[in-house]
Homo-oligomer: A and B are copies of this chain.
């Protein structure tokens, strides 16, 4: 039997064990069975026994065959607006490349920062952090960053198709994906769940304003901004580190490209319009996915993205299917009471400890529970109020507890491939595998948690 078959059999047996284990008190058998399916699916992906797509469709089939979910429930994720947003953003990115605009912007970045791979990583992360306060969705932000980054990788001759993606592409993509956890933590307005969390805290008597949020985050974010690319540089290194000639080549290529082409103009206008409408979407009550879809239509009407291009983008379907399925499983784990049950168990376990221990356990548990969640907002909505209440009950300062949990909602986003919708687009590109996210995303989450819990806590207690 091959090593792969053994791995598959092992995970499957573990899944069966969990399924047939006695249902814990306080849970319905249905919730427990769904948990068994979910954890087994994740197990398959972590040990690389099945691709995330295959593991997901098997999981959904089993969930329906065993009547853990009805077919209607099973397919509900496919019509989620934010999941479709990822799919459309993925297609828009191809338009940026097709039009030549991606090439131009990529060469402009290389010309300026391209002499080292590390320099490129820092510059893309910094861009993200700077645009984030005006951009209340890390998914949408990934939709803006990804196409440029993708062009950057392609024009640095690091492509998935020919197996050269590890040259610089995988490293850059991972840095940018990790960078999103920082940009979302730093600004109250950088992620949809942030203001919602603040509103929930307010109802519980804990007031957090914009200044306090940024002030609390700025120092740990700064430290992590410096550390993350360095750590990735060691654990997930690019094959090519120095590219002294790249800026010279980029300069030459830019000269060769000459003036903006018609397609670049059209693409720029569409891209900037989408960007603008995404930023205004909350204020104007626009649906981000519809904005993106209309942008895609305009790209197709102007032949920048064609039907033939679309026919090659099976990867977008792949994203849609596995992400919708994992999202659905997680949503029903919540609906069946599993999340609340888990939260209560952890909350119940911290009684009698010092406030520091309570704080530590709650934050670490909150981060690790993200293994069960697909999308950050769902996690925050399910558990933030329970954890905050328990923290306050056992003596933790309300503002500290609330801030740290809300930061954690962002800095744990890279724990799993499905942990944030922003991750999905990077993984869809093929530069990063789901398995690598479990490994290196886990390490970065550990780093984030460590820095926020140590330096961050001291800093917050000092400034607020």
Contact = CB atoms under 8 A, between A and B. Distances in A.
Interface string A38-73: 000000000000110110011011001100000110
A318 B311 contact: yes
A324 to B, nearest CB: 8
Given A289-B71, A317-B317, A297 B81 contact: no
Contact of A314 (B74, B80, B314): B314
Given A60-B290, A64-B290, A317-B320, 12 more contacts: A53-B300, A58-B297, A61-B294, A61-B297, A71-B289, A78-B79, A310-B315, A311-B312, A312-B314, A313-B317, A314-B316, A317-B317
Contacts of A65: 290, 294
A287 interface: yes
A458 to B, nearest CB: 44
A108 interface: no
A68 to B, nearest CB: 12
A221 interface: no
19 contacts: A51-B307, A53-B300, A53-B307, A54-B297, A57-B297, A58-B297, A61-B294, A71-B289, A71-B290, A72-B81, A74-B290, A75-B79, A75-B81, A75-B289, A78-B84, A312-B312, A313-B317, A314-B316, A317-B320
Contacts of A76: 79
A53 B57 CA distance: 26
A290 B63 CA distance: 10
Contact of A310 (B75, B87, B318): B318
A313 B309 CA distance: 11
Contacts of A25: none
Contacts of A61: 290, 293-294, 297
A283 to B, nearest CB: 16
A328 to B, nearest CB: 9
Contacts of A317: 87, 310, 313-314, 316-317, 320
A198 interface: no
A1 interface: no
A55 B250 CA distance: 39
Contacts of A79: 72, 75-79
A296 interface: yes
A301 interface: yes
Interface in A154-195: none
Contacts of A315: 310-311
Given A71-B81, A78-B84, A54 B311 contact: no
Interface in A312-362: 312-318, 320
A27 B450 CA distance: 62
Contacts of A309: 314
A314 B307 CA distance: 9
A318 B314 contact: no
Nearest to A306: B51
Contacts of A307: 51, 53-54, 318
Contacts of A312: 311-312, 314
A4 B301 CA distance: 11
A294 B62 CA distance: 8
A58 B294 contact: yes
Contact of A287 (B57, B71, B80): B71
Contacts of A80: 75
- 3 closest Cβ pairs, A-B complex: A61-B294, A71-B287, A313-B314
A313 B297 CA distance: 20
Interface string A262-297: 000000000000000000000000010110011011
A313 B53 CA distance: 14
A315 B80 CA distance: 21
B84 A293 contact: no
Contacts of A314: 309-314, 316-317
Nearest to A328: B79
A310 B53 contact: yes
A418 B287 CA distance: 26
B71 A293 contact: no
Nearest to A301: B54
A72 B76 CA distance: 11
A315 B314 CA distance: 7
